[in-house]
Each structure stands twice: as C-alpha cells, then as structure tokens.
Amino acid sequence: MFPRNPRTTIPMKPLFAAPLSWRRRCHGNQEVHPFQVPLLHSGFRSSAFGEAEMPSDTLWEIAKAEVEKKEISENGGDGIEVCEKSVFFIGSKNGGKTTIILRCLDRDEPPKPTLALEYTYGRRAKGHNTPKDIAHFWELGGGTSLLDLITIPITNETLRTFSLVLVLDLSRPNDLWPTMESLLQITKTHVDKLIVKLGKTNAKAASEMRQKMWSNMQKDHPDRELIDPFPIPLVIIGSKYDIFQDFDSEKRKIICKTLRFVSHYYGASLMFASKSEALLLKIRGVINQLAFGIDKSKSISVDQNKPLFIPAGLDSLSQIGSPPLSENDLGQLHAQTPMDLWKKVYEKVFPPKSASTSKETRDPARDPQYAESEVDEMRAQKDQELEQYKKNSSKSWKQIEFDS
C-alpha cells in the first residue's frame, strides 16, 4: 500500500451533490412515494496545490442536457415544449364528475365515490415523434361541504393554464342554485385574488389573463357590456338529463333558461349530459379542448326539449328572454342585479333546502357515502361509553357536594 498524501487525497464528500427534490405523482388512487437520489459528479480536476477542484455540473445535469439536445434534433430544431394544462371538476355531490373524467380518459372502470380532493392525469401526442401534452385533472368531492379545498389546485403557477368544469345534477333542482352559487363565488374570489397578486409581479401576464376572459365574446356582440366573464375558462354541465327530461315542461323551461342566463353572464359554455354515448362524446370533445387545445365544436342546440349544447359566446340575452314569470310577479321581486332577479325567480319555483338540513350534510363523518361498518360500530360504542362516563362523573361530583 502507498502512504496517504493529504495534499493529493480527494475528499469523498464533495463527490455527492445535494439530493434532488422529490416529485410526487398520482395516478388514480396509486401513489409513488417520495424518494431522494444522491447524484455523483461526472469527474474532477486536480489542482497543483490543495484538494481537487470539482466541476459545477453533475451527471444528472449533463444527462438532462443530452436528452434536451436529442429532443430538439428529433423535432427538427423547433424546440417543441410539452404543454401542461389543468382542469378542475367541481359541482353537485354524486353528480357524475368522476364518470365524465373516466370517459374523457378512455378508462373502462366503475366510478368510485370521490374522497375530498382527487387527482389524475392524461397525456396526448400532438403528432409522430413529438412530446405528449399533459392534462392534470382535479376533482372536488362532497358538493359544497369542502369549499376550502378549492384553493389547493389553483395556484400562481397553474393559474394561466387552468380551466373549471361545474357539474350540476339536473335531477335535484332545489339544490342546483345553492350549489352553483357557492362553488362559483368561492372559486371566483380566489382566482381574482391570484390575478391581483400576479399583477404586482407580472403586470403583462395579468393583463393577458383579463383579455383572455373576453376571447369567446365577439367585439360586436350586443351583450358585451352586460356580462361579467369568469376569470378562467368555465364549462357548466347539467348531468342526469335522462331523469330531467321527464320533468314537467314548465319546470324544464325555468331550469334551462336560468342556466342559459348564468352561463352567458359568465361567458361559459353550457351543455347537458346523460348516459347517452352521443352526449358523452360531445362532452369529451369539450373537455379535450380545455385540456389539450383541440378545436372546439361549433354546433349549438338551444331547444329546451332537447339536451342543451351552447358553446361560450354563442348565446344572447335576446334569445334567452326574460325570467319566466308574469309581469305582476316580477314587479313584486326586489332585485339589485339581473343575477339576483334570476335567483329570486328560480328559488320561487325551486326553494332551497333549509339551512339545518344542509348543515348536517357538511359533516363528512356522518355522510353515508363514506360508511365503514366496523369503524362506525366502534365509534357508536365509544360514544355510548363516553356518555356513560359523563353520567358517572356527574354523580360522583354530586355525591362529593352532599358529603361536604
């Protein structure tokens, strides 16, 4: 063995770069857990005096540069980048959000109840030998019981490529307006705050977002001064049309006209869905347009006796008409805005459930959708034991008072 020379010995510690930050990927309910990988430097350079000097590049950085160089050469030097967009599904509880997502992703599997906030993704190739675009699909479960979770997927980083899909259960018209109002208000408030925050650091990007809000509305549209576009692309889907079509014609008329007004006011697309394969294909086309930028359909259907299909910007207040009430009834309604007037008209026919009823459904622990017999039985047993303990404790304190 040769004697160790401290002046020419290479220290081992600098050979390892700092570990990579981990990335978490979710696919359905499967999750790849975070891990860390130390990266070995590609080599070293000995100096005449002192310890070896290490290069700045790691093997990972060198490999990454090689891959990027190869991709650019394969794409003809165009430098094509992978496009990533996000689509957020919110809406009525058990309204069919998961079914729509699975259909869009061509996954033949039975839908499962959504627990809180769930994530999956899809990929689509632009062409031969080109990188696949990625679409991130988020879904909020529980209807309006988990409103705080809306702020999680919509961030400063995802804001400019984010779209919203509101799914409303047409078979439960009394819940329709409260669900729609709560979810849209919370989301709009959050997005507006993010745009204001973005404007402080990137005024150009914030301005582009505000201009994009009007992209679906023609400059010469007669209603341009009367609407307030949603800050991010919005699609409203009325689900369970197969049940809705059996409603009384007057009730269907009120629901259709109300949803048309709300959609038009927010610059959103409106369409109805059911188990029909033809309708699901239409919905899939619209979602693919949000997720991958595929050309959107130009077809339109405004007949209330058929499933509505109205792309953003193609409706008008003159075609929608006034709220379906007599002039005397309309005169008795005191509304500050057109939206408030439509709300009062709708809730006159479909009054929302009482506050106490809706409050009970806000506790996920009591939601039958998440029932687990063994856990629920044990919880009931522990609740009984707790009540018995409280009674015994109360008796003990009373006995002490009597003794004293």
- Is 360 a residue whose pLDDT tops 50? no
Instruction: Give the residue, 178 or 41, on which the prediction is more confident.
Output: 178
Structure pTM?
0.70
- Is 46 a residue whose pLDDT tops 50? no
Instruction: Give the residue, 56 or 394, on which the prediction is more confident.
Output: 394
Question: Do the Cβ atoms of 141 and 93 come closer than 8 Å?
Answer: yes
Q: How confident is the model at residue 245 (pLDDT cuts 50, 70, 90)?
A: very high
- Is 45 a residue whose pLDDT tops 80? no
Q: How confident is the model at residue 39 (pLDDT cuts 50, 70, 90)?
A: very low
Which of 25-34, 57-66, 332-341 bottoms out in mean pLDDT, i.e. has the lowest? 25-34
- Is 40 a residue whose pLDDT tops 70? no
Task: Compute the average pLDDT of residues 42-63.
Answer: 52
Instruction: Give the residue, 330 or 290, on which the prediction is more confident.
Output: 290
Q: Which three-class secondary structure state does DSSP give residue 120?
A: strand
- Is 4 a residue whose pLDDT tops 60? no
Q: Which residues pair with 41 in a beta bridge?
A: 58
- Is 73 a residue whose pLDDT tops 60? no
For 260-292, give one letter per residue: b (16+ CB within 10 A) or e: bbbbbbbbbbbbbbbeeeebbebbbbbbbbbbb
- Is 80 a residue whose pLDDT tops 90? no
Query: In this predicted structure, what is the pLDDT of residue 398?
Result: 62
